Amino acid sequence: MDDVLDHAVLDELLSFADDGDPELLVDLIQMFLEDSPSKVEAVNEGLAVGDFDKAERAAHSLKGSSGNLGARFVQDVCEKLQLSTRAHELETSRELAPKLSEYYDAAAIALRGVLAQHTN
């Protein structure tokens, strides 16, 4: 999976700091890495029991935060999950769930790499 992150989004976040201080980017990545595993888990838990509302809320939240950091594959699969859970398409939603985990894992690794670059 090439280009897990849209680096233009990350560069834009870095540009917000007048002095080139990456504090905003670092903070956003840390918050994402702390909060997002529970969102992925909530999607999977919701789908396991047919709780479409829980899965949709978690996918919606994760879609926004992943988009803010340029994790476009996560954002895209969350959009698809939102649509399928809203339509109560359990089979489609369950087919998307493994992709969410795969894409999230790849994005988390890439974001940890970005974090390491800016915290040394």
| pLDDT the model gives residue 13 | 86
Tokens of residue 108, six digits = 């988390």
CATH topology for 7-119 is Four Helix Bundle (Hemerythrin (Met), subunit A) (1.20.120)
d(CA 14, CA 81): 30
Q: In the block, which residue shows the tokens 């698809």?
A: 80
d(CA 47, CA 52): 7
Q: Is the pTM of this model over 0.85?
A: yes
Domain ranges, ordered by start, for the chain: 7-119
Q: In the block, which residue shows the tokens 């280009």?
A: 3
| pLDDT the model gives residue 2 | 58
Low-confidence ranges of the chain (pLDDT < 70): 1-2, 120
Q: What Rg, from alpha-carbon coordinates, does the chain have?
A: 15
